[in-house]
Structure 1
Amino acid sequence: MRPGWRESDVTDMPMIGTHIDTFDGMERVPGGPGARLRWARTRATDFRAAFASTGTPDSVDTCELVTLPYPTKFGLFRASTAVAPFLSITNRMLVIRWRESDGRQRVLLFEPSDFELGRKTPYFAALGARVPSPLQSLVLKEHSTVLDHLSRLGIAPEDVDYLLFDHLHTQDLRRWVGTTAPQEDLGGGVTPRFPNARVIVQSDELAAMADLHPLQQPWYQAGTFKDIRPDAFLALTGGRILGPGVAVIPTPGHVFGNQTLVLNTSTGIWASSENAIAAECLTPEHSRLPGLARWARTWQQEVILNANSLENTAEQYNSLVLEKTLVDRSQVDERFLQFFPSSELTAAWTHPGTAPTFSHRAIHHRR
């Protein structure tokens, strides 16, 4: 089902923040993906210093939402030799607050997944139908909801300005931004829980969702966007500085319109996306996960992708190297980088051989 907006709606949407021209033109780099890899590495190096000079946000809080099973062959691509067919990932929301130059406070939610509705994503719905209910309780754990976390942090839903996802796989936004027509499965009309929030998204992804390719269909709930008004979105073309130490940059590959949150904090620069599911996937030579270090050494691949969708694998590799070049090293263990997976590999006794060597679990920042 096609979403209710037209292509012209996407291109006419208002912009936000300050445009980042550093990453413009990747698709026009002469040569193949190898040339674009070198370009991405150089541009990330150039952007590091400029981004650090923008300052830092007031705070970054990390909120656990849900831990769920995920196929090992997706999360660790072809590198893992673990016998377990599934591993566990924990989806977390970041709450970022900053002040504009005029003193107005801004609140951005990164990955505020409505995981109850997310279960209806075709791939996960089919997977859930095959797993007996008693087993589901062993491998799926709901930690807390988006709204409960905000209440704990003292943030009213109407004070949220922006919702941001690295991409819109599994997302159903109807309860967050409301609909223009009654929704039978939700019991009628839907009043937005975040009445003043706009969804920041790359225009490439919105355009793709209007006419999904068969390889994309298992991962999107495009039909749920049909009755969402176009002005609920802020569609970007490229990167933006959103506030002091807060940026979103294009990282295409996992999906055509993939994007990465970049933060400058008291410990340096972080990047967060789902291009990889563990920090060690950016430095696999230090990984104790079965197969990863050997795979990287054998095939001279410096990163291990999260590859459930293969829209453009070489470009996703390049994007992950861009993220790797951009961030600082962990102050906890310098072998690993401050890459924070939006869904992070989590140890589970039910999935032997998939316990991470190192986990961030959270980003903590107060200015």
Structure 2
Amino acid sequence: MTAFPWGSAEAIDLPTIGVEVDTLSDLHKIDGGPGARLRAARRQGEAFRGEFATTGTPDTVETCDLITLPYPTRFGLFRASRAIAPFLSITNRMLVIRWTDSDGTGRILLFEPSDHELGRYTPYFDDLTAKTPGFLERRMVTEHGTVQGHLARLGIRPDDIDYLMFDHLHTQDLRRWIGTTAPQEDLNGTPNAVFPNAKVIVQRDELAGMAELHPLQKPWYQPAAYRDVPAEAFLPIDDSVILGPGVAVIKTPGHVFGNQSLVVNTSTGIWVSSENVIAAEALTPEHSTLPGLAKWSRQWQQEIVLNANTIETTADQYNSIILEKTIADRAQADERFLQFFPSSELTRAWTNPGTDPTFVHGSLTHRS
């Protein structure tokens, strides 16, 4: 078992952040089974929508494309797709959110600032790369930009970043972002933190789960990358919290035990972002033209299509997606779909027949 800087699951005692959201309680404390929790998710989501809309809006939200890469169709469109292509394409994007606290302090949050150069060593993707001929990989993978390059373009200095946040820590290697406490052989020494003032917002449940990974989790994490990272760089939370005006993180367990989603209030209404699904149409599959999705939804009476590379607690993930679906506003470009912005969004690729999305957001932008 990898030794983590925060010790055992029982010993996680680190500072936390935000104002707790009273309207969103732990669904596992609801009396009854998964069906009762699903009903509670709808009720709580409606209550939170009304409350959250009154918190204001952030100053700006910017979208930064990082990388487009292949992903198994059977994972991204769980059981529903009838596409002949074994792989589809997803584009990983970073959101840069700026807001001003009530005391006048400016804050910057990076949501999904993936170091994709190191992320490729995640066991699943490392194995996939080893099996893929180089010429084919070059056709299927497109690097759009880096975290640091995007920040330079936006005129943001690395030491101005307050928070880093991911919906979950699958594939993430944070050593370059937050530094390490010991030399790293593959990084030619002890890296100084690129973001020296940033704290990583993470659910305490995920830290606990990473301290001793279950076999279902192992292909998707890089536990050795966390052995020497400084514990004080993490801000664990236990539930859902308001971070600032129009910025919240909500607990959405299922895809991983400690999954979380970003919620932002903008000039077009409320958006939700996570990797619980890979396309906005996965929340309203009855309107999807992707082969199989609408029929599968009717046949199985399921109103969403999960992103299911890990099936840690599938009913919980379903309920979490319903929570996200209840909170998000309708898309202005097409009201059949919701303002759900997948952190890894389904992207058209000629190499993947049958996986062309019906509707794509492409970006999430806001200026107050």
TM-score tier after normalising by the smaller chain length: over 0.9
Structure 1 residues 60-81: Cα deviation after superposition (integer angstroms, max 9, x where no partner): 0000000000000000000000
C-alpha spacing 1:21/1:10, structure 2 compared with 1 (3 Å): farther
Post-superposition offset of 1:229: 1.1
The answer to whether the Cα contact below 8 Å between 1:5 and 1:226 also exists between their aligned partners in 2 is: no
Partner of 2:354: 353
- Give the secondary-structure state (helix, strand or coil) at the position aligned to 1:53: helix
Structure 1 residues 58-111: Cα deviation after superposition (integer angstroms, max 9, x where no partner): 000000000000000000000000000000000000000001112111000000
Q: What does 1:188-227 correspond to in 2, within 5 Å?
A: 188-227=189-228
Partner of 1:329: 330
* Residue 64 (str. 1) matches residue 65 (str. 2): yes
Distance 2:357 2:236 in 1: 35
* Residue 91 (str. 1) matches residue 104 (str. 2): no
What TM-score do the two structures reach when normalised by structure 2?
0.99
- Give the secondary-structure state (helix, strand or coil) at the position aligned to 2:206: helix
- Give the secondary-structure state (helix, strand or coil) at the position aligned to 1:348: coil
Partner of 1:127: 128
Partner of 2:292: 291
Aligned AA (1:76): L
Structure 1 residues 188-216: Cα deviation after superposition (integer angstroms, max 9, x where no partner): 11100000000000000000000000110
C-alpha spacing 1:61/1:9, structure 2 compared with 1 (3 Å): farther
Partner of 2:185: 184
| Identity score, percent | 66
Post-superposition offset of 1:3: 2.1
Aligned residues: CA RMSD = 0.9
C-alpha spacing 1:10/1:251, structure 2 compared with 1 (3 Å): farther
Partner of 2:302: 301
Distance 1:10 1:110 in 2: 27
Post-superposition offset of 1:25: 3.0
Distance 1:161 1:56 in 2: 18
Structure 1 residues 211-265: Cα deviation after superposition (integer angstroms, max 9, x where no partner): 0001100000011000011110000000110000000000000000000000000
* Residue 81 (str. 1) matches residue 82 (str. 2): yes
Post-superposition offset of 1:8: 6.6
The answer to whether the Cα contact below 8 Å between 2:9 and 2:207 also exists between their aligned partners in 1 is: no
* Residue 362 (str. 1) matches residue 363 (str. 2): yes
Structure 1 residues 21-54: Cα deviation after superposition (integer angstroms, max 9, x where no partner): 2222311111110110000010000000100000
- Give the secondary-structure state (helix, strand or coil) at the position aligned to 2:96: strand
C-alpha spacing 1:11/1:4, structure 2 compared with 1 (3 Å): closer
Partner of 1:22: 23
Aligned AA (2:365): H
Partner of 2:315: 314
Aligned AA (2:215): P
Partner of 2:266: 265
The answer to whether the Cα contact below 8 Å between 1:63 and 1:149 also exists between their aligned partners in 2 is: yes
Distance 2:9 2:328 in 1: 36
Aligned AA (1:363): L
C-alpha spacing 1:10/1:133, structure 2 compared with 1 (3 Å): farther
C-alpha spacing 1:322/1:115, structure 2 compared with 1 (3 Å): same
Post-superposition offset of 1:9: 8.1
- Give the secondary-structure state (helix, strand or coil) at the position aligned to 1:295: helix
* Residue 45 (str. 1) matches residue 39 (str. 2): no
Q: What does 1:126-145 correspond to in 2, within 5 Å?
A: 126-145=127-146
What TM-score do the two structures reach when normalised by structure 1?
0.99
Partner of 1:112: 113
Post-superposition offset of 1:10: 5.8
Aligned residues: 367
Distance 1:2 1:165 in 2: 22
Aligned AA (2:255): H
Distance 2:361 2:8 in 1: 39
Partner of 1:250: 251
- Give the secondary-structure state (helix, strand or coil) at the position aligned to 2:38: helix
Structure 2: give runs of 5+ residues left out of the alignment: none
C-alpha spacing 1:10/1:101, structure 2 compared with 1 (3 Å): farther
The answer to whether the Cα contact below 8 Å between 1:76 and 1:305 also exists between their aligned partners in 2 is: yes
Distance 2:152 2:11 in 1: 33
Distance 1:95 1:280 in 2: 24
Structure 1: give runs of 5+ residues left out of the alignment: none
Post-superposition offset of 1:5: 2.2
Distance 2:202 2:187 in 1: 24
The answer to whether the Cα contact below 8 Å between 1:274 and 1:341 also exists between their aligned partners in 2 is: yes
